[in-house]
Structure 1
Amino acid sequence: MMRNIFLLINILFSLSFFSQKTMKVIGEDIKNKYQESLRLVTVFNEKYYKGFSGDSAAIKNDRYTFSIPNYNDDSPKPFRFLFKTVKNKVFKISDIFYISKNTNKISFNSDISKIIFENKDDLYNEIIDYDAYMKSYTFKKKILDSIKFSINERKKFKLGKTTTDSLQNLYNGLDKYEDSLLLSLSKKTPTSYVLFWKLVEKLETKGYKKTYHQIFNNLSISIKKSSVGLIFDNQIKNAEKIVLGSLFPDLIFLNKKVLKELGNSYTLIDFWFSYCQPCIDDFPKYKEIYSKYHDRGFEILNISTDRTKDKENWKKVIKEKDLKWIHFLDENGVKAKQYNVNKFPTNYLLDSTGRIIKKDITPEELDLYLSENLK
């Protein structure tokens, strides 16, 4: 019978809590104990949440209680629910929903991981209008995702470079179309926090684009001067400093300047961490490239974002993989987050002056580029 139950979790927000530094979020299980625990998780960079990264709550007397510290401003912030179901022991994640001082209730259907929006919610019409305006993009993306899945299934997820490049070009074109819609929407609905958080998502996943600056500039003063708006303004200005054609930031770790270690010709700066398997998978290829071109002025600088508790594993990987080039530790990824490096691996190819000439270049592309430019 549990398989057919829709569990609705009503999250009630007591306004009396908002005068406190720590806001209490109380949820009630009004059906059966469909899951053992529920986790409230953030969606974007922790800076937007003043260091809050999530809170878990087990069922106690049919209720959940979350605590969100330092929640004392008017800006609605996006969250998700993460939960492990009892019936099949798998993790699910909900749609994005927003918590603000004006939030009275959020209903959640955990059986289908959907948030049930209330008509009285201040952001309800905003969400509906946003979804309607972006409908053409959503439709195009759904078709492209379906095509990609079909090709992967037919090719057993072993795609050739030509197919991969073609798909990437299609996604790049779709991304530009989305940007154009967002730019147009920013002129029509400059007070939309739904649009603002979409802009945050774009910056964090795609890196800096001039269009994002234009969209942000179109938003209302109230958003731009809000606590989250000021954080975004700082984030996008930092991200602008690490784009193609700009000088790589003068990062310093343990009093050692990264730019002091540049090669005489080209330098690959590679952001990684010691539990990143795709990062580690590239190391054998980099070792071959390093042995071929190091004597001709090519250098590799690894910047690890390992957490404090993983420092020993970072040292272990370097030793076991016999990585001869220079290593820096950006402990807990502080600098990486500052410059919006959120995916790993992320790399930058610099010329001898420290200017960025390539980003996210593959080992194969790097080998080809060096062979053509280091005669």
Structure 2
Amino acid sequence: MPILKLRNMKKLICFLGFITVGLLHAQSVENPFTLNGYINSDTGTVRLILTGDSSNYPPIHFLTIGKVKNGQFSFNGVLSYPLSFRLLFLGNKEYVSDLFYIDVGAQTIRCHVDSMREIPDMNNATMQELYQFKQHHYTPQTIQAYTKKHPDSYMAMWQLARMLSFNYNPNLDTAYAYLSDAVKMSYTGARLFEKLKAASVLSLHHVFPNFTLLDRSNYPTKLFTHEKSNHYTLIDFWFSHCNPCIGQFPQFKQIYQQYKNVNFDMIGISIDDNQNIVNWQKVIDEHQLPWKQLLDKNGVQANQLAIDTYPRNFLLDNNHVIIQKDMTPEALNSFLAEKMHKQKSSFSNVP
């Protein structure tokens, strides 16, 4: 399962009482909210945690940590529009909810510690919309109809941001275009526009950008040293604490060893920050990764390209054009085996 890397956060769960993220995009009207909660545990601690990339959120200045007393808790503050959260409970059990939306006004949330990662029971308007939305299987193709019918939906805006975090699809641009100006001009709406524009660079049939990164000796180096190559190249984005990323290395090593001399290459790009550079080097050495490894320190380039989930990879042709994305080791092996078989067949037919 891909991991969502939260910008400027060392852990998925932020154990701070206040969360302040992003820069102020525009002055928006803020309205008060109250969230009264109920959980089947007498005491414990509850925390509101962000869902997805923290840069999608406007500045949040309300308290995001609370105490459970007699199975009840509450949060209050001000919002400009509905925001997406998960609820973390620490007590006799550890519980994390699925995502939910806090809306303006008064609302209640009911959680059960045995219902791990399920959508909690809530009674605000945005959650009622989410319950209806979840009854259908929406894709980048079909969500266009939803945003066209519901242009004022902040829930749809958040769903677009979630879809984009996993993969860019041109249909997301069309779906975004149907949103109302008010939604687009929200902090999250403006960030979504920027990310859609950035992510389009990495769509299929586009040339992969040749940016400058750091090698293992901390020297700046271009991703590609030549305008063209004579092989397929897999660009693999990862970081040193991403278990799904590291879990693929043994299979990728087998594939690399099998095809490295027959028109295939790999380049690894880590987004580790300064504090984890040693870990990055350690993982490379421990797994004896034989392909080129580069560092996108703090994920600067990845962030500009709207890469939020890991592992992410891009298969390029000899002109560095993206021809496949997010390939599993099995899919990559099948692709290369087929291409090499066709190549051998064409050679054998030469008189």
What TM-score does the superposition give when structure 2 sets the normalisation length? 0.72
Alpha-carbon distance change, 286 to 129 in structure 1, aligned in 2, over 3 angstroms: closer
CA pair 80-278 structure 1, distance change in 2 beyond 3 A: closer
1:220-231 equivalences under 5 Å are 220-231=180-191
Q: Compare 287-296 and 126-135 and name the one that shifted more.
A: 126-135
Aligned to 2:331: 365
Please identify, of 295-304 and 275-284, the stretch whose mean Cα deviation from structure 2 is larger.
275-284
Richer in helix (by share): 1
Match for residue 164 of structure 1?
none
Shift of 1:27: 7.0
Relative distance call for 1:223 and 1:83 in structure 2 (3 A) is same
Whether 1:84 and 2:90 are equivalent positions in the alignment is yes
State the number of aligned residues: 302
RMSD over aligned CA atoms reads: 3.7
Residue 179 of structure 1, CA deviation: 3.9
The 8 Å contact of residues 85 and 102 in structure 2, kept in 1 or not, is answered as yes
Whole-angstrom CA distance in 1 between matches of 2:154 and 2:299 = 28
Q: Partners in 1 of 2:58 and 2:212 — Cα distance?
A: 25
Tell me which amino acid in the other structure corresponds to 1:44.
Answer: G
Instruction: Provide runs of 4+ in structure 1 moved above 6 Å.
Output: 22-33, 51-55, 60-68
Q: CA deviation at 1:315?
A: 0.6
Q: In 2, are the aligned partners of 1:75 and 1:228 still within 8 Å (CA)?
A: no
Three-state SS of the structure 2 residue aligned to 1:185 is: helix
Task: Tell whether 2:233 aligns with 1:267.
Answer: yes
Residue in 1 that maps onto 2:105:
104
Q: 1:190 is paired with a residue of what secondary structure?
A: coil
Q: Relative contact order (C-alpha < 8 Å, sep 6+): which is higher?
A: 2
What is the letter of the counterpart of residue 216 of structure 1? Y
Task: Check the 8 A contact 1:57/1:64 in 2, yes or no.
Answer: no
* Residue pairs, 1:134-283, within 5 angstroms: 135=135, 137=136, 175-176=138-139, 179-180=141-142, 182-205=143-166, 207-254=167-214, 255-260=220-225, 263-283=229-249
Tell whether the 8 Å contact from 1:97 to 1:115 is kept in structure 2 after alignment. no
Relative to structure 1, is the Cα distance of residues 332 and 32 closer, same or farther in structure 2, using a 3 angstrom cutoff?
same
Structure 1 residue aligned with 2:128: 128
Scaled by the length of structure 1, the TM-score of the pair is 0.68
Query: Helix, strand or coil for the counterpart of 1:191?
Result: coil
- Once the two structures are TM-superposed, the CA of residue 60 in structure 1 deviates from its matched residue by 9.1
5+ residue gaps, structure 1, are 1-18, 119-123, 138-173
- Among all aligned residue pairs of Structure 1 and Structure 2, give the percentage whose two residues are the same amino acid: 29
Change (3 A) 1:95 1:237: closer
Select which of 287, 291, 299 maps to 2:265.
Answer: 299
Go from structure 1 to structure 2 and tell me whether the alpha carbon gap of 1:333 and 1:55 turns closer, same or farther (over 3 Å shift). farther
Give how far 1:293 is off: 2.8
Would the aligned equivalents of 1:224 and 1:230 in 2 still touch at CA under 8 Å?
yes
In structure 1, give the amino acid aligned to 2:213: F
Q: 1:225 to 1:200 in 2, by over 3 A?
A: same
Is 1:39 aligned to residue 47 of structure 2? yes
Q: Which amino acid aligns with 1:251?
A: F
